[in-house]
Amino acid sequence: MARLADIDGNPVAERYELTACLQCGRCTGGCPVGLRSPLNSRRLLYEAVVREDGDALVARDEVWDCTACRTCSDRCPRELDPAAVIREIRTLKIEGGRIPTTAMDALESTLKHGNPWGRSRRRRTQWAEGLPVPSVEDGQESDRLWFVGCTPAYDPRCQAMARALARLFHAAGYAYTTLGTEEVCCGSEVLRLGELGLFEELLETNREALQGLEIREVVTTSPHCLTAFRTDYGLEIPVRHASQAVADLLDAGRLPLVRQAPLRVAFHDPCYLGRQSGVYDAPRRVLAAVPGVELVEFDRCRERSLCCEGGGGRMWLEGLGEGERNAQRRVRDAADLGVDAVVTACPFCLLTLEDARKTTGLEDTLEIVDLAELAARALDDPADGPGEEERS
Ligand code: SF4
Ligand code: SF4
């Protein structure tokens, strides 16, 4: 028997300086799944230090409940990183073949098809049919890349957010290109599931694509791609979320939002956009520019936003927790606020909230809307836009 060691045999307690842990429980106290899951970061760290049997820790399945929201790591007064320790345990579980089938399928699909949804590479651009979306495959180059992302490209509900964004970009004459069917998964969830080898492959593929095309700026639909490129890849070029690009186009007077979209809305700050990337104001600037929209804030908004449980690979994991899911709490809170819609800006939040709306019986009274979808409703004519020569 030996203490918990990472995949290279380094003791986890030393690598992550876990003996500095005060056992104060601030990490566990902020964990969004802590109330209904056996996952307890404080106890896991304690056991990583004192327990002689590392294999017993790796056998624990509650680590799959982690959404990789990083609240625990952000709250630690000793600047320890419980989220990274949990990811180490996931990596060891994968090495031992102890991964839930659904997550394994997502990883295998990413390896084979470049996306976790089991869909063919050839169909990656089907979402854009009928829209003027430039692609390097058609020889339309630009030094700005819109990285569409797997879920907006393939998921039928999330394709609407990609289509709305394409219409906004077109209406503003925003210059960009896409990778078309050559785009492959950013690897955000692959990394957080603990599959380090596959993540490295995806990182290399994407990095080479960006360098080969001399891309100087990346805009992402998903906050998860944003976090991957900014934090995990350490790209030196600017990477922005689509909400930031749209807010800047509005500020520059390039996006005519003229139609009324009368709606009382609450904005759900996605963890990977807000707390992990510091983007809070851009989506609110977009909401303020849509005629007829009234924003009502959740009690838990901005830094205190309630994680929807869609991150950290949880889209492909059922989880051990019982009782009400956070997304269900979120839509009930929205109903209590008396809003017509919850607006968000992340494909995973969109899907978890849509699901929660149905399972809580709010289907007929509450709408779940992506930020770009809402803004595109206010375009005078979604099909209208400047010609290619006007793009900049
Ligand atoms: S917040 Fe930090 S110091 Fe406190 S129990 Fe968690 S890991 Fe230990
Ligand atoms: S990353 Fe989030 S979900 Fe995971 S243990 Fe930390 S606080 Fe809990």
Decide if 3 is inside a domain.
Answer: no
Structural tokens at position 237: 């070029």
| pLDDT category of residue 318 using cuts at 50, 70 and 90 | confident
pLDDT for residue 390 is more than 50: no
List the residue whose alpha carbon is closest to atom 5 of ligand 1.
Answer: 23
User: Does 152 share its domain with 226?
Assistant: yes
Boundaries of domain holding 275: 256-377
Per-residue pLDDT of 38-56, as tens digits, reads 999 999 999 999 888 889 8
List the residue whose alpha carbon is closest to atom 6 of ligand 2.
Answer: 72
Which ligand 1 atom sits closest to the C-alpha of 28?
A: 6
Decide if 320 is inside a domain.
Answer: yes
User: Does 337 share its domain with 266?
Assistant: yes
User: Does 49 share its domain with 107?
Assistant: no
Which ligand 1 atom sits closest to the C-alpha of 75?
A: 1
Question: Domain containing 70 — which CATH number?
Answer: 1.10.1060.10
* Number of domains into which the chain is organized: 3
Provide the CB-side half-sphere exposure for 302 (13 A, CA). Answer: 7
Q: What is the pLDDT of residue 388?
A: 38
User: Does 265 share its domain with 167?
Assistant: no
Question: Domain containing 354 — which CATH number?
Answer: 3.40.50
User: Does 344 share its domain with 370?
Assistant: yes
User: Does 277 share its domain with 202?
Assistant: no
User: Does 304 share its domain with 324?
Assistant: yes
Per-residue pLDDT of 187-201, as tens digits, reads 999 999 999 999 999
Ligand 2 center to 71 CA (angstroms): 6
Tell me how far apart the alpha carbons of residues 73 and 89 are, in angstroms, rounded to a whole number. 16
User: Does 348 share its domain with 271?
Assistant: yes
Question: What distance lies between CA 71 and its chain's CA centroid?
Answer: 15
User: Does 71 share its domain with 109?
Assistant: no
pLDDT for residue 387 is more than 50: no
Q: Of 74, 95, 116, which residue is a domain's last?
A: 95
Q: What is the pLDDT of residue 383?
A: 53
Ligand 2 center to 257 CA (angstroms): 39
Exposure string (b/e) for 220-240, b if CB count within 10 Å is 16 or more?
Answer: bbbbbbbbbbbbbbebeeebb
pLDDT for residue 386 is more than 70: no
For the CA of 45, the nearest ligand: 1
Mutational pocket test of ligand 1: of 50, 72, 78, 86, the residue with most ligand atoms within 8 Å of the beta carbon: 78
Decide if 355 is inside a domain.
Answer: yes
Q: Of 38, 60, 95, which residue is a domain's last?
A: 95
Decide if 228 is inside a domain.
Answer: yes
Q: What is the pLDDT of residue 52?
A: 82
H-assigned helices in the chain: 12-15, 26-29, 41-50, 54-58, 71-75, 82-95, 101-113, 150-154, 156-172, 188-193, 196-212, 223-227, 242-251, 281-289, 326-337, 347-359, 371-377
Please, are residues 223 and 272 in contact by the beta-carbon 8 Å criterion?
yes
Ligand 2 center to 201 CA (angstroms): 26
Decide if 190 is inside a domain.
Answer: yes
Decide if 79 is inside a domain.
Answer: yes
Which has the closest alpha carbon to 163: 379, 387, 388?
379
